[in-house]
Chains A and B, each alone.
Chain A
Amino acid sequence: MKWFKNMRISAKLISSFILVSLIAGIMGTVGIYNMWKVDKEYKGLYEDYGVSLGDLGSAGIDFNRNRYRLANMLLNDDQAEKERLANEIRDIENQISLNLEEFGGTIRSEENRRKFQELQQKFEMFKTSRDRVMDLALSGRNGQAIELLNTETAVLASAANDALMEMFDLRKTNGGKLSRQLSEQTNSSMISMVVTVIVMVVVSIILGVLVSRMISKPVNKLVASANQIADGDLNVIVEVESRDEVGQLALAFRKMSDNLNEIMGNIQIAADQVASGAKQISDLSVSMSQGATEQASSVEQLTASIEEIDSQTRQNAQTSNEANEIAEAAKQNALLGNNQMKEMLSAMDEINDASQNISKIIKVIDEIAFQTNILALNAAVEAARAGQHGKGFAVVAEEVRNLAARSANAARETTELIEGSIRKVEEGTKIAQETANALQSIVDDVARVSELISNIATASNEQAIGISQINQGIMQVSQVVQTTSANLEEGATTSEELSAQANLLQEQVNRFQLRKTKTGSGSSLDELSPELMELFEKMSRNKGNVPPVSEAKAAAAQQTKIDLNDYEFGKY
């Protein structure tokens, strides 16, 4: 029954019920079968005997009817009537045949069959005679018919009739027999059935009891264990007896109790650790707080120096701005000088242009002089032509020529002067150009200086900005340090609380009785996270100095985080 025990409860129950139902079913089936049998028997009885008797009876009746009709026929002189009767007889004969056939069908035994055949023979013999009678009757030979009838037919009829009655009786007897048989059968069936029922019931009850007991026992056991655990006794052992649900439950219980044991154990350990850790933190934070205070004071000093630098830088920037302005002014002046130089150049150009114009005009004058000369020559020609009359005119012409020559000379001299002037102007232009160039280079240099100064100013400004930023940064640092200090204070407080809480935890854990078998992870103080340990050591070493801001910051950041994630926690 092990396997059965290991079956699931649901399976158990179901199988039990099935069994029970099966039994019921069997019983039912048996009962039904019996009934059916009985029914069949009775039906057979009925048919074989009841009905067949009926048939037989009918046949007998009909037979008699025929005899009557036959007689009628003989009594009747009416041909038509006879005919009619004959027909009727034939019909009835058929009927009889049918019934007999039917009856014949129901014969089961040999004996009966033999008897039946006899019957049939008899009937046949009768029929034959009858027929003859009928024929006679029909043919009008009533007398003969009657005769015959009274002799042969009657005999035959009686024989048939007797056979019939025999049959009949036989059947009846058999029937009765059979019926009594059946009743006996039925009774026996009934008895068997009752017996079966009783048996089945008993079996069912037993099965039920068994199964229920199978279930309830372990459950009770588990209940007891649970109560134990609830009461704090974790040292309980759970037995597992089966693999069914209850068994599973027991298994789980076992696991649960094991785990609980473990957890509690760990908690205990941890609580111990926490308590000690908290204490340490508390100590440390106190010392750190001291350190932070010292930091703050150093930061103050730093701030002061930075501010000095800042103001110096600002002054620098201002100075360079001033220098820039001066350089700018110098540049403007140089530009002004340059512009004026350019103006002078353009003025000289204008002089040049004017000279050119004058030159052109001089050319014109020269041209005029030439033309005048020609005219004078023409005049001289005319004067010569005029001969005596032209003498005076010739003189005039000569004078005009002289004038023209003088004009030409003057024009030439002026041209030379102009050219000289132009040359001088060119020289002047050259010098002016050079001056302009020099000025231009001054301007350029000044511009460059100005640019440089401006760069310096910008740089100073940026420096100032940078320094102020540094200042700000330092402020921030000091703030942070203060915050750190405050945080440390808080930390200390918090660690105090933590310590208290740890104690509380320990008390709670101690309420449980633990199994002494398993030990969790190491629960010594040395198992704190190594980084943290390192930091503590470092901090205790560097208490006196001002730690760099970043380190301080980092330290502060790290300090607020207490790494409780023991990586070894939970590993088994």
Chain B
Amino acid sequence: MDQFHPDDSLFEVYLTETSQLTEQLEDIILACENANRIPEEMIHEIFRIMHTIKGSSSMMQVHGIAALTHALEDLFSYLRENGSRQAPGSDLADLLLEGVDFIKIELHKLKNGLSADGDASVLIRKVEEVLESLGQRSSGPPPLQRYFARLLFTDDCDMVNVRAYHVIHQLGELVAECRHIPEDLRDDPAAPDLIRKHGLQLYLTTEKSYDEIHAALSRTSFLKELVLNTIHHDEFREEGADPDAGDIWPDQADQTDLADPADPVTGKTNRRGNRESAAAAGGSQGKSITVNVSKLDELMDLVGELVIAEAMVTQNPEIAGLQLEQFHKSVNHLQKITREIQDKVMEIRMVPLASVFQRMRRVVRDMSKKLKKNVNLQLAGEETEVDKNVIEHIADPLMHLVRNAVDHGLESARERVEAGKPEVGTLALEALNNGSEVLIIVRDDGRGLDKKRILEKAKARQLLQRPEADLTDREIFQLIFLPGFSTREEITEYSGRGVGMDVAMQNIASIGGTIAVDSRPGEGTVFTIRIPLTLAIIDGMNVRVGEALYTLPTTSIKESFKPQVRDLITDPNGREMILVRGTCYPILRLHELFRVPSDCTRIHDGVLIMAEQDGKGICLFVDELVGQQQVVVKGLPPYLKSFNRVEGISGCTLLGDGSISLILDVQGLLGR
């Protein structure tokens, strides 16, 4: 087997693509298993995936995978041909999953520069057996395939009908049969318009493979978009009826519509949710390309700088106050576009946690099967998006937590019933975005953590730094994150080595997050992972204290007002508080806290900003409110972090005139 340098871009693409497809496949299989049947589209999808993997693996000379997928392709081709009425059952699913695992392992090897020398022959044989049992030997010439193609031409293509005719002509050699809509390309005056609007629709029957047809069609000049779908025999007849019928088109959600004016957050999510869930459900023919994450990083940086540069232009003191109407119009346009770019790039980078969560399904399924525990996995907030970077780092810890939960946390069915709990244990994965960070919560309703045991173990391993009596429950629970900690007596396949939790914590810490655990004996355990949105563009409120500027995320600001001296209260400890509509809020004087020299020290000279986090409120005393703007969040340089972690400052940002404003973190400020 030839070796491929991991840096080889083509290879990189192959790896990424194949991993993706494999994941997709896994999701589909799991979904189908849950549904206890494989719907027709799924078969097609699986087939397609196999086909694609096969093709690319052959190209990459990864023979192991190629052979396996070939076999699976045959199987599914058969299934496709002969209907899926025969419910394959969970055996098939197991088999498929095995295959998926094999592919994964091989890919993993390749990623790490090792050779993919796995032997799939065992699996292949199994597949062939299944196929035999289904009564068909896959051999012989590849059957006739039927494809549906839609070609959209670019706007500057004149004579689309001629172009279309050319395409069809060229295909003529490749395809056995070709039906096209619009039918009359030469004489029909409406044909060009139809083509322009709906594209050239082709119904092809050929023995050529998908790729071949795809390649052939891709060579068309002035091609804006190509959609090529393999169609089932039955569906073929149905098509050709109404070209305008919406359901003929493959998932329209894939037509990424750049001019979509929908709300970026929800629209984005919906669309991508659609796409991702469609992918998960196994029916998307969407076009996607694999992009190197580092490129995205650079793009993000550039976009961030673009935002700053744009701010620098629009807030340039030289034009401040000038009435330049046309200029402002153009600037507004620029800002709009910049914002859109921002959003798009954010979109690109942000990936919903769904993929991670979905993977958990697999884990839970395998484990519950193995451990004979019935686990109900509830996912919530899968559409919550996090940076790609984060996804990669969160997957392992999450997996570890899930494993722990299923393994240790949830009791056996019997125990549960005895304890009065429902037989099926519940494991909830929840993700939510609270403005400055993403929370991922893993909750189980199992037996909870045993404080005593933890303390014992900690003492035994001399991991205690402070006297036992001083520790709060939380702190006790936090001990489990220390390296070398495990209360498991024996080491199972999944856990017990004591290297899981601390690794998880490190992983989370590496992306700047924290993990906390809370538990109630007999009721369950909750792990809360907080990941700060370090790489984000947030809406911030700029405030000034003395000469220094600070930015507060607007989502944490409840209100701001000019305080009256009479509302000021001083408690016996000397802490200042203020009464607002009957509730008392502590006042935090930023100029004292950060030791910034400021002329404004009297309460009624400045402004109080009421900020809230998790129900707790605090009033920050600043000199004045400067303004509101979108800011690019940049983390504080790690060098500074090496000295001291400043509670309350979560990062910094560059303002329009190039000056730096420190971003305040309400959570941290509350702690002071």
| Contact flag (A, B; Cβ within 8 A) | no
Identify the A interface with B (CB < 8 A).
none
Identify the B interface with A (CB < 8 A).
none
